Structure 1
Amino acid sequence: MREQPEQQAPPVQRLRIQYAKRGRLRFTSHRDFSRAFERAVFRARVPMAYSSGFNPHPRISYAGAAPTGSASEAEYLELALAQVVDPADVHAALDEAMPDGLDIVETVVSPGGALADQLQASHWWVDLVVDPEQARAAVAAFLAADSVPVSRMTKKGLREFDCRASVLALVVTDPDPEAAPQAAVRLDLRLRHAVPAVRPDDVLTGLASVAELSIEGSPLLTRLAQGPLDPETGEIGDPLRPSA
């Protein structure tokens, strides 16, 4: 009979971590980040819990990763541990082990529940080189539409979906000259997470389709927050401290 794999002990503690992708590291793919993070976990000697089976791997749960090329202040993951630790010690060790630009923002004991279920909406800044009046007209036309169909290539092939339904708020504002010196316009965007997920670039495609908006160069996408959505106020909460 084939030898059975060793069964690992269940985790005794879970930590929920907020991290950021900044500067040039916004071009890091989710796969690249996960490799860098697992190396950092090893260097920091975090007492990870491991999966059972013939190829045990550290129990790290990722959720809601931003698209490659996007900066973000609000990325999240959860660690399952084999020992009870001080979150502050793990935070300091991981932050030291991670490359500059992939930064640990906060580490807490997990409040429980599935992390993915807490990530219901996102708040974005989208900095563009575009005529401000054209941008305002395009946003007005987009918000007035009942639906705005767009297409995107997915793992299952080319898929068409409505990007308007996921937009909770969309406002044209002035950009920050220090953060985005070339931009003429900043879109302040709040998105409800749905299936398929609507991304900021899908909204830009939708704006171009309803008003032929002409955008120069590549937009700068920055996620400011993601978390549970209050259906009454539209506010995005904190997945590290979800309300009851």
Structure 2
Amino acid sequence: MRDQPEQQAPPVQRLRIRYAKRGRLRFTSHRDFSRAFERAIFRARVPMAYSSGFNPHPRISYAGAAPTGAASEAEYVEIGLAEVQDPEVVRRALEESLPDGLDVVDVVDVVEAAGGSLADLLEASHWLLDLEVDPEQARSAVEAFLAAESVSVQRMTKKGLREFDCRAAVVALSAEPREGGARLDLVLRHGVPSVRPDDVLAGLASVGGLTTGGAPLLTRLSQGPLDPGTGEIGDPLRMRG
């Protein structure tokens, strides 16, 4: 019989962290970021709490990670600490330890944050999609998409090819001209199955004939609680439960 592992003490403090993926670091996968973040935690000497069991792990919870290749101003992670720390001190230490392009934007104590789990607070995302397409073609495709009751798209998943409706998740969608093409302004409700910006682009191609010339630049501006009346997204680190 193996000896039972030592039980670790529960965290004395939990911090929620907002970070950004910018520039070339938008191509960082979630797995790459988690490795970089754990190395930064170690270099910054953040006093982490650990899980119990034969292979203790630092108490880190990730939520709502953007797809690889998408830039983001609103990625979130929660950590559990073995000692109480000043959130601003932790923010500065992590900012110095992470590579440029993975930038810590904000750190708050969970007791000062909104109620509910972090994952539950991330109800929707606000995206900008920069495309190399004719603005009028983009606007026409958006009108056709919004007029449709449902738009079926397919995506390859770990369980094989899956078909689902991407229209129901779209809270708001508009198109405006930009230098060299068009910009789509998109608010997506999170759910199951998860609908991503590239699914919406596939839907626009299906119902509106929209074809993108080059790779679109996807940028998440925010994610958080969704106001059903206004369609606006709140700050999950600042709103009260």
Report % sequence identity. 75
Q: Which residue of 2 aligns with 1:168?
A: 171
**Which residue of the other structure, out of 120, 132, 135, is the alignment partner of 1:117?**
120
Correspondence list, 1:1-244, <5 A: 1-110=1-110, 111=113, 112-175=115-178, 177=179, 183-244=180-241
SS in 2 for 1:49: coil
Spell out, residue by residue over 1:83-115, the C-alpha distance to the aligned partner (whole angstroms, 9 max, x if none): 100001100000000000000000110125210
Q: Distance in 1 between matches of 2:240 and 2:144?
A: 36
SS in 1 for 2:216: strand
Spell out, residue by residue over 1:173-226, the C-alpha distance to the aligned partner (whole angstroms, 9 max, x if none): 233x5xxxxx41000000000101100000000000002212101000000000
Aligned-pair distance for 1:125?
A: 0.2
Aligned-pair distance for 1:133?
A: 1.1
Q: Distance in 1 between matches of 2:136 and 2:240?
A: 40
Letter in 2 for 1:165: A
Structure 2 unaligned blocks of 5 or more? none
Aligned-pair distance for 1:235?
A: 1.0
The CA RMSD measured in Å over matched residues stands at 0.9
Aligned-pair distance for 1:156?
A: 1.4
Kept in 1, the 8 Å contact 2:139–2:176? The answer is no
Q: Distance in 1 between matches of 2:37 and 2:124?
A: 24
Moved over 6 A (4+): none
Letter in 2 for 1:107: V
Aligned-pair distance for 1:8?
A: 0.3
Q: Distance in 2 between matches of 1:167 and 1:195?
A: 13
Q: Please report the TM-score for the alignment, with normalisation by the length of structure 2.
A: 0.97
Letter in 2 for 1:104: V
